Amino acid sequence: DTGVSQDPRHKITKRGQNVTFRCDPISEHNRLYWYRQTLGQGPEFLTYFQNEAQLEKSRLLSDRFSAERPKGSFSTLEIQRTEQGDSAMYLCASSFSGRTEAFFGQGTRLTVV
Amino acid sequence: QKEVEQDPGPLSVPEGAIVSLNCTYSNSAFQYFMWYRQYSRKGPELLMYTYSSGNKEDGRFTAQVDKSSKYISLFIRDSQPSDSATYLCALEKDSNYQLIWGAGTKLIIKP
């Protein structure tokens, strides 16, 4: 399977714990995006990378959220001190730079209890 | 007011019907228009991508953009039960790929 891969698919964590998600984009793609989606809503943009550089961060991305793409390949999204409001589907997508068509992974569903 | 408005549905139609899904937007700066399909508990899947006003056809799917009215549509011909999903429109203002999404319309095709 050469699509976008996300791990884990599901995560249940207690409030206050830290969680980390991983995204492996399509190998030829140099852009990688993170989105968050809650039930009944479209995805909300969080941040994106071109190669290893993080070029844009949404105002939605509080200090508790950090994303990395150390070698311009896979990316991680960490949420520190999770809150119940962080419960959502976290989606990763990738594309070629200059191309708008992006391909999404299956998402990581986070539940904070 | 949201930048992109989309009726959440659900929209229920019989198999074989022509389906019309729509979004309206308020900002004329949007240049790129996309339709994604999302099955339950899955990531969105790109269906159609258009840049200019007019129609674009791909198999049973037709995307229509009317920039003067700030209105975009997705038509599905000969609808199948497997088309049952949530359909999201996504719009982009520039090449930085900050997509602005509609809330999605849940479509149900009854056999």
* A16-31 pLDDT tens trace: 999 999 999 999 899 9
Q: Nearest CA to B79 among B51, B98, B107, B102?
A: B107
Q: Quote helix, strand, coil % in chain A, to nearest 5.
A: 5, 50, 50
Interface of B with A (CB under 8 A): 4, 6, 8, 32, 34, 36, 41-46, 49, 88, 90, 92, 95-99, 101-104
Give, as one character, the DSSP assignment of residue A17.
-
pLDDT at position B2, please?
Answer: 82
Q: Which two tokens stand for residue B72?
A: 């975009």
Q: Using the predicted structure, report yes or no on whether residue A75 has a pLDDT greater than 70.
A: yes
Rounded-to-integer distance, Cα A77 and Cα A55, Å: 15
Rounded-to-integer distance, Cα B74 and Cα B50, Å: 11
Q: Using the predicted structure, report yes or no on whether residue A104 has a pLDDT greater than 90.
A: yes
Rounded-to-integer distance, Cα B102 and Cα B30, Å: 13
* Regions of chain B with pLDDT less than 70: 95-97
Contacts of A91 in chain B (CB under 8 A): 43-44
By the 8 A CB rule, do A32 and A92 touch? Answer: yes
